[in-house]
Amino acid sequence: MAQQPRLLTLLGEDVDVVLRKDPAARSRAEVALTYAGVHAVWLHRVAHRMWRRGWLLPARALAAWSRRHTGVEIHPAAVIGRRIFIDHGMGVVIGETALVGDDVTMFHGVSLGGTRAVSGRRHPHVGDRVVIGAGATVLGPIVIGDDSRIGAGAVVLADVPARTTAVGVPARIITARSASAGGDQWEDDPAAWI
């Protein structure tokens, strides 16, 4: 298992990804001081480390404080990858057993939720370089493959293969991209995935 990066390294990456992906971001100071999505991720990183050490109540208390102040609810047990970008943030919910990969972008109102009150895995696993549009709901112990796109307002109830786009209620696959298409072309053209 790879060694966990230092917390300060992760916090710096969280700022840098916003500067790279958000044309409205003007400086590191602006992002660090004013972006609620960044604050929510930072507070989650601390709460998650507390949770892993067995400090469950303090971790939940910090997560609750973060929710009140950022509008983003991330359970402290959820596993969040590197360079996650929660744009506008308000209303994002990430459940306890969710796994979110590296370089993921989520817009406001996204829910990674469960469908049943059972123990064990009940929330989605989101791969690397996934973009989830505003108001999308991804429910249950499903897998969203690497380099996929979930359209705004979609309700995803089944696995989404890698390098595909899913839209609608319930979500359906509308495109499959070749591996050579690469993820960056989609990042630069928001009209292609919203």
Which tokens is 82 given?
A: 């590197």
Residue 1 lies in a domain: no
Number of structural domains (the chain) is 1
Average pLDDT over residues 175-185: 55
Cα(41)–Cα(179) distance, rounded to whole angstroms?
29
Residue 74 lies in a domain: yes
Residue 88 lies in a domain: yes
For the chain, what percent of residues have pLDDT higher than 70? 88
Residue 2 lies in a domain: no
Residue 11: the pLDDT is 82
Residue 135: the pLDDT is 95
For the chain, what percent of residues have pLDDT higher than 90? 68
CA distances for 46 relative to 64, 73, 98, 110, 174, angstroms? 13, 14, 17, 22, 38
The per-residue pLDDT for range 141-164, each reduced to its tens digit, is 999 999 999 999 999 999 999 999
Average pLDDT over residues 127-147: 96
pTM here? Answer: 0.85
Choose among 124, 128, 119, 162: nearest CA to 142.
124
Domain ranges, residue 133 = 7-192
| Residue 2: pLDDT band with limits 50, 70, 90 | low
| Residue 1: pLDDT band with limits 50, 70, 90 | very low
The per-residue pLDDT for range 61-94, each reduced to its tens digit, is 999 999 999 999 999 999 999 999 999 889 999 9
CATH number at residue 78: 2.160.10.10
